[in-house]
Amino acid sequence: MTSDTEIPVWAIDAINALLQTLKLKDPFTFYHCCRVGRASRRLANALGLSEHEQNILEFSGLLHDVGKVGIPDDILLKPSRLTDEEMTKMKSHAELSCEIIKPLMHIPFFRFLLPGIRYHHEQYDGSGYPSQLSGERIPLAARVIAVVDTVDAMTHTRPYRKALSIERALQELR
């Protein structure tokens, strides 16, 4: 029997399998998820969060974009601006990520991951997705992942834009 904070070895193996599937489909997103997971843990540690909360943030960060395996390649890998219809499909990745990890919900630890994964694109002013949450209604895990996700996206080159320096990315966040 595991406690709410323990992660069975087989569950870690399942996470690794999910991440390898993502790596095969889109290596860029795979490495992005790895960076977001590590940096989310570091930020959680800097915020003085418990080991359990750091684990939640790390694993939520690792899995936050795994739903992109369900996004068609012509949208996911498009080197130019997405149409409104394509953007709607792309925005479904957060909910798809939750659907993918749903079979692991019988493990208490995985229930803690859902808020960070589902709501990492919410905006403090309520303009985000999928639920237009605002302010303190956005779970802390989602807010941490959103910051790390945004900084990572801004500091890595994409086909449609050059990377910013970390200093410039942090200025943009403010």
- pLDDT average, residue stretch 22-30: 96
pLDDT greater than 60 at residue 2: no
25 alpha carbon, distance to own chain's centre? 16
Pick 115 or 10 by higher pLDDT.
115
Let me know if 59 is exposed, middle or buried by CB neighbors in 10 A (0-12, 13-18, 19+): buried
Backbone φ and ψ for 45, nearest 5 degrees, come out as -65, -45
Specify the CATH superfamily of domain 9-173: Hypothetical protein af1432 (1.10.3210.10)
pLDDT for residue 150: 96
pLDDT band at 4 (very low <50, low <70, confident <90, very high): low
Whether the upstream peptide bond of residue 27 has omega within 30° of 0, thus cis, is no
pLDDT greater than 50 at residue 8: yes
User: What gap in Å lies between CA 136 and CA 124, rounded to an integer?
Assistant: 8
pLDDT greater than 60 at residue 55: yes
pLDDT greater than 80 at residue 6: no
User: What gap in Å lies between CA 151 and CA 58, rounded to an integer?
Assistant: 16
- pLDDT average, residue stretch 61-90: 96
- pLDDT average, residue stretch 111-127: 97
Two tokens, residue 113: 């991951």
Two tokens, residue 52: 């359990």
Per-domain boundaries in the chain:
9-173
pLDDT for residue 158: 81
* H/E run at residue 32: helix 27-46
**Do the beta carbons of residue 141 and residue 114 sit within 8 Å?**
no
pLDDT band at 1 (very low <50, low <70, confident <90, very high): very low
**Do the beta carbons of residue 39 and residue 86 sit within 8 Å?**
no
